[in-house]
Amino acid sequence: MKLPVLTLFLALVTTLASAADRPNVVWIFVEDMNGWYGCYGDDTVPTPNIDQLAERGVRFDRAYMTAGVCSATRSGIALGAMQTSLGVHNHRSSRQRVPEEVIHLPEGVKTVYEVMRDAGYYVCSSKGKNDFNFIFDLADLYDATTTSMGPHTGWRDRPEGKPFFAQIQLKGGKNSGQFAGAPDRAKGDETPHTNPDPMKVAPYYPDHPVMRREYAHHYDTIRQTDDEVGEIMASLEADGLLDNTVVFFWTDHGLRLPRHKQWLYEGGVRVPLIAAGPGLKADSSRDDLVSGIDISVSTLGLAGVEKPTWMEGRDFFAADHEPRDFVISARDRCDFTIEHVRAVTTQRYQYLRNFLTDRPFMQPQYRDGRDYVEVPRQLFKEGKLNEAQAFMWSETRVPEEFYDLENDPHEIHNLAGDPAHAAALQRHRDILENWMKETDDQGQYPESIDSLRGVLTQWDGQAVNPEYDAAREAQAKLPPNPPKGFQAIFNGKDLEGWDGSPDYWSVEDGCLTGVTDGSLKMNRFITWKGGTVKNFDLRVKVKVTAGGNSGLQYRGQERPDLGDWVVTGYQADVVPGKAEYNGMLYEERGRRILAHTGEKVIIDTEAQPWVVGVLPMKEFPADQWHDYHVRVEGNHHQHWIDGHQTVDVIDLDETGRALEGVIAVQVHVGPAMKIQYRDFFLRHLKADLPLITPDEAPIPKTAVKVVPQGGGGKPKAKAKPAAAK
């Protein structure tokens, strides 16, 4: 039975504000599924439970999601507003794949879950897919969450007498299709569940076994979903809750095939929507236009909660509800594929505006390689597709598409160039233009570089759109994400967290850069102010011009009494082009050279370093990037350059050694030079690591002294052997 919309305002709704108890609310939120159910006129497979739910309440025949992809749709529903109004429109954004990839909601804006909690509801989520494109805290959204697929009975944990709002996530089109009574594929039975042979595919697909199989599989998932809906309703009935619970059922977008999921055609954004419960007239339907964001506002209305100011949805159960003249859907970046499409749907027409006309209809995307994509692609290459089927394989796009939904439900006849529909086309153009201005559609602005950098961390090899070029350039100037367990101590942007003279230190091309003109009279340092280090692992890339000299200071001491920006202590020398010094262990204003490059050394208790072994030496040229690695555990020091170990030192000198201090880097007196550091990563090790004792590190009789310990020149070929120990 279908009633006129205006009659429904009086027939479907009772005033809940006067009710003694507010109703409970259950959202059954289904993924990736078209409304191919009996109650929507499709009897291909039985759907008794979904049909029964529709018989208990209201079936909406013209419900549209605000996007064809999950995170954008879910973000809009959670906020009761278009995702494009709040800047949460790009799929899987604000995931903090890089630290700067964050989107915070405007001050005061909350999700519908938080608003319902504020109104006194117990809010729970079962197998909740909290796929939101903004920063949130689960503890703020829900009183309780579960990650299992069932049973979906989270309301049973609520305090006695408290109304509940339960969100239940079903996998829908992502399910296996293992419905009750079907052959068990897990046990090797490959008998088709739904026979694919009689499937009639849409005219924009080739009539091929692969496509018929996809349709059959989708019907299998529909039957499985119907079973799950029956279980949920049975649980509510067993708990005696049906008489005071409003149940919503809908899907987030269409099935996984092209032109459905992620697209804005009817198959992508037109979804089933059912609401059943107290105050809603049973076995009724509505054909007015409804947006997904209306679900949140209508839920608040049923609970007697006033619509917050930021919500753009409409309470479609309100007595004063004004039906929509149009609904808007938006397609923006999906995974790594950058899109910009808007759709306006009215009672008769759908208008699509393609802003990126230079892009192929089938851009590189996550579905590539799957047979339901590759088979049509190959048939297109072989010239075996008709015009409607070949449309999606175009290398460019028309700027506008305009379809008469009454006479062309599959949207294969574009009327954008038809003079007979010119007036209607212009009306839809005006609707879109005005809406974009009035809402300040955020999709018209470029996505931030930081957000695109986040995409690159996950999809770099597949991100081919030109918008990523600037993100790659920016990323190249920044330190990469630290290895596991490490922290970045230089941000690649500015000198925040560091203290040094701006006369010598700056950030250039994302690098910590030191420059001297040859007039420097005293070594100068820039010090990391993030704390001291005891036992640690330090890794950094360094480039020094020919003739330059720098050093990685660690466990150092700041000495303002000696001059501004002076640091003493251990140092891993950075002197490319001088193999015997590059990577050695030096002590600034202390014991000086403790180990030349290529030496294994034990420093005795009286501060004398002894060479107890040798390491192979290697040249590392100037003006190139090299990886320097310092690891210190207790009194054991090790240095590497590009993975090649340069020194290994045990310091037994209790008086001279340091066990804690600062990290700094140096510009050295001498000729004009330029020194650059990037990818500066630090990992703190356990602070209480044991110290090696003299008994554990005896100095052999064959050991020779480290000479010279200061000044220039190479170590002597022969040195005095160690005395008997």
Q: Computed over its alpha carbons, how large is the radius of gyration of the chain? A: 34
The residue from 294, 323, 352 where one domain ends is 323
Domains contained in the chain, number? 2
Give the tens place of pLDDT for each residue, 313-353: 999 999 999 999 999 999 999 999 999 999 999 999 999 99
Q: Please choose, from the candidates 136, 111, 208, 124, the residue with its C-alpha nearest in 3D space to the C-alpha of residue 162.
A: 124
Q: What is the CATH number of the domain that holds 629?
A: 2.60.120.560
Distance CA 481, CA 541 (A): 14
Task: Specify the residue for token string 């839809």.
Answer: 428
Q: What is the pLDDT of residue 48?
A: 98
Distance CA 218, CA 31 (A): 12
Structural domain includes residue 13: yes
Q: What is the pLDDT of residue 193?
A: 84
Structural domain includes residue 249: yes
Structural domain includes residue 661: yes
Structural domain includes residue 416: no
What are 400's strand-pairing partners? 353
Q: Which SS3 state, helix, strand or coil, does residue 79 take?
A: helix
Give the tens place of pLDDT for each residue, 411-423: 999 999 999 999 9
Structural domain includes residue 300: yes
Structural domain includes residue 265: yes
What is the number of alpha carbons within 13 Å of residue 354 lying toward its C-beta? 16
Q: What is the pLDDT of residue 1?
A: 36
Structural domain includes residue 442: no
Structural domain includes residue 515: yes
Q: What is the pLDDT of residue 150?
A: 62
Q: What is the pLDDT of residue 535?
A: 98
How far, rounded to the nearest angstrom, does the alpha carbon of residue 348 sit from its chain's CA centroid? 38
Q: What is the pLDDT of residue 722?
A: 55
Q: What is the pLDDT of residue 166?
A: 97
Q: Which SS3 state, helix, strand or coil, does residue 588 take?
A: strand
Distance CA 66, CA 329 (A): 4
Pairing of strands 24-30, 164-170: parallel
Q: Please choose, from the candidates 599, 572, 570, the residue with its C-alpha nearest in 3D space to the C-alpha of residue 587.
A: 570
Q: Please choose, from the candidates 349, 504, 502, 491, the residue with its C-alpha nearest in 3D space to the C-alpha of residue 429.
A: 349
Q: Please choose, from the candidates 389, 30, 380, the residue with its C-alpha nearest in 3D space to the C-alpha of residue 229.
A: 30
Domain with 242 in it: 5-323
The residue from 280, 303, 323 where one domain ends is 323
Q: What is the CATH number of the domain that holds 234?
A: 3.40.720.10
Averages of pLDDT over runs of 10 residues in the chain (725 residues) are 40 39 95 98 98 99 98 98 98 90 96 98 89 95 81 89 96 89 68 87 98 97 96 96 98 98 98 98 97 99 97 97 98 98 99 98 95 98 98 96 99 98 99 99 97 93 95 82 92 94 94 95 96 98 96 97 95 95 96 97 97 96 96 98 97 97 96 96 96 97 86 42 49
The DSSP H or E segment spanning 679 is strand 673-684
Q: What is the pLDDT of residue 189?
A: 67
Q: What is the pLDDT of residue 724?
A: 43
Cβ(607)–Cβ(724) under 8 Å?
no
User: Who contacts 306 (Cβ-Cβ below 8 Å, separation ≥6)?
Assistant: 300
